[in-house]
Structure 1
Amino acid sequence: MAAAVAVMAGAVLAGIWIESAPPVADHVHTSEGAAQDRADRREPPFAQTDPVHDWSGVSKGEYESWALDRRLTAGEARELRGIDLTDPVEGNDRLARWARSLGARPILGTGPGGEAVLTFQLRGTRTRPVVVNQFRAKVDKSSCRISRAVTVISFTSQGGGAPAQLEFNLDAPVPVAELMEEDGETGLYQERRFDSLSAEGDPSGFRVEAYSGRTCEWTIEADWEDSFGKGTFTIDDSGKPFVIEAPVRATDVWVDDMWSKRFVPVEELR
């Protein structure tokens, strides 16, 4: 002990200051934190689940509409009239099989505007939280056109599904997300909410409704920010853009008749 004191005293007299090293555990912790930060930077800000298109859900009172780019032949019209709708679930299944056999496609919206309804989740991938500041729709204007649909087959007694969390007017100059609150109030997402996502936290789920008077391809862009920086994440349909269609020029329109439990041309109901 006396020797140690003597060495220390000598060092001080010589103008040498001896600083004790920090604990080894602090070095390890700092090194692990830096490694985790580097790993976080290599990860995308979050991951997206495959979207679920909410255009078919008989249990919720929602039914598919179908579009075809030609008129039905006389034989096809007789086949459509023959689909029994007494049991709406079975009738919807029969309609779906029959429509697909003709090359028809399911759509939402049979009036002046088309709709797209979908749900998806965003899951955090980084240790540090990533905040979503804004959602907006990006419309590929070069893809927009008037729908080629000539025939539309639709159930008239559609019910409502769950309320949308995010709504987009795809015909707006800048289609930013409108947020629908549980109490019915609406406002811009960026003014009412933000989602914070991390690898250890819960994912955030979204139900989206979009509207347009055209047929267009579109995606959703999420502006994000974390302690490393900021950027934009694209939400799409499993690597492809979403598609919305408004059959505004359809002339061969069929709807379900609640009395006969059959499909009939809309003119017969007027």
Structure 2
Amino acid sequence: MSTLAMSARRGHVEILTFLRDRTAVVFTFFFPALLLLLFGTIFGSESTDGGVAVSRIFTASMIAYGVLNTAFVTMGAGLAMDREDGTLKRLRGTPMPATAYLIGKALLVLVLSIAEAAILILLGVLVFDMPLPPAGHWLTFGWIFLLAVIACSLLGVAVSGLVKNARNAGAILNVPVVALQFVSGVFIHPMSQLPDWLEKVASVFPVRWMAQGFRYVFLPSSAETQEIGGTWNLGGVAVVLAVWCVVGLILCLVTFRWSGRDK
């Protein structure tokens, strides 16, 4: 069997296993949606200086949170659990290469991320009257979304090696997730409300650029003035996300372990 075929089968197994875990399904899909409903309802009647409803801004920004939560946490926690219960060690003794296993995990993350984004966009359209963007913006959404999923997934793989107890993986991985949402313009926008040093810290990480890119896709041009520097800076979005993809890949190669006892 080819590596591609093994990857597809592994991805199918990963998806079925995930769907059988009702708790994981609820927290993965409905927690970001619940946050969007809460923030959008509480601040939905307000508008920014650009005349854009805050609920629309939250909808666009929350897609970045959905991708990070789904890709980073799901990948990191899943690998930590597979490593601790011996799944990875057993797979190492089978004809399945590590590449096929990781691609299978990546397929799970991609499917979940697409479903998460679809739910958030649907909520924005049905609940907060957010208009869908023109066709050209969907192309931009595609490459931003793909780079974001790849970067967050690779970082999840890398960080999983630092988790010593899989039962604590969710709590450990959610610490950077929650912190980055507040400093990256997801929960607090515009970012000019933050101290300058926090803006600079947030600009190092991919979440700020993910959220900014998704706001470009779903918000009108008048919202551009609310971004740092008064511009969408899509070139910066592409460069930072691509760099994090490379950094994540390097970290994976350095930190990936088949079992907790590997040196």
Structure with more relative contact order (C-alpha pairs < 8 Å, separation 6 or more): 2
Question: Which is richer in strand?
Answer: 1
Question: Which is richer in helix?
Answer: 2
TM-score band, normalised by the shorter chain?
A: under 0.3
Using structure 2 for the length normalisation, give the TM-score. 0.25
- The structure having more radius of gyration, on CA atoms, is 1
Using structure 1 for the length normalisation, give the TM-score. 0.24
